Structure 1
């Protein structure tokens, strides 16, 4: 029977939360969703806070709109990240090696999947797949530099 556990650690400005769902594939997906979803929520909140302070007007309606935007952005970008993390992990398991090609293939598959789910046409899906592969490969290369 699968076990679930929750753990976390804080050191300096980095916060890392680990959720163990009993399956490494699911763990990778949920981790990607939570990390990038949190970034998207924070960005949406900061953006709306800036415009609220700039305008000097605050209302309950504006606050409600901000919460909706935070949820929408967090869910969208968290889903994209979860799909990418799962694709890259799956490609790594299938290929049996860990290298930049996993990021490229995972990014391309993610771009293709998200684009197709958005009901884009054939050319747009191909362009999104190429873009996803290029961004994921560039991010992987930049990761090696740090």
Structure 2
């Protein structure tokens, strides 16, 4: 049965939200979507707030535009993160081991899927798969260093 939990502390900026979908794959995918989607939405809100303050005026049109941008950015980056986390977990389950190669494969598949959804150019899809692979692998290696 799906459930949720919210915990936080006043002394630390860490807030953890857990949603139990009844499946580890779904749990990780939803968690990635929510966390990165919230970050992207916050970034879009801060960026538009800066532009409104710089112009010195706010209108209903600006507010509507900002709200649409917040939702679009949050949904887009949340979806990308959810796909990546799901692909990495899927690679881990298929291979039966947890290492940097799962991040590499998850990044490559995510890069290719995101690119294929927006482009039919085969060279761009391959380049985006390589980019996703490189970024995910580098991030995994940096996590081991820190």
Q: Same fold (TM over 0.5)?
A: yes
Q: Secondary structure at the match of 1:58?
A: coil
Q: Secondary structure at the match of 1:97?
A: coil
How far did residue 144 of structure 1 move? Answer: 1.6
How far did residue 142 of structure 1 move? Answer: 1.4
Structure 1: tracts of 5 or more residues without a match:
none
Pair 1:4-2:25 in alignment: no
Residue 124 of structure 2 corresponds to 124
Residue 58 of structure 2 corresponds to 58
Residue 41 of structure 1 corresponds to 41
Query: Which has the higher mean CA deviation after the structures are superposed, 117-126 or 60-69?
Result: 117-126
CA distance in 1, matches of 2:142, 2:36: 17
Q: Deviations over 1:19-78 (max 9, x none)?
A: 001011100110000000000000000000001111101111100000000000001000
* Alignment RMSD (CA, Å): 0.8
Residue 89 of structure 1 corresponds to 89
CA distance in 2, matches of 1:136, 1:17: 24
CA distance in 2, matches of 1:18, 1:144: 25
Residue 23 of structure 2 corresponds to 23
Moved over 2 A (4+): none
User: Aligned residue pairs: how many?
Assistant: 144
Q: Secondary structure at the match of 1:101?
A: helix
Q: Secondary structure at the match of 1:9?
A: strand
Residue 75 of structure 2 corresponds to 75
CA distance in 2, matches of 1:120, 1:76: 19
Q: Deviations over 1:72-121 (max 9, x none)?
A: 00010000000000000000000000011100010000001111111331
Matches within 5 A, 1:96-135: 96-135=96-135
CA distance in 1, matches of 2:27, 2:66: 29
After TM superposition, the score normalised by the length of structure 1 is 0.96
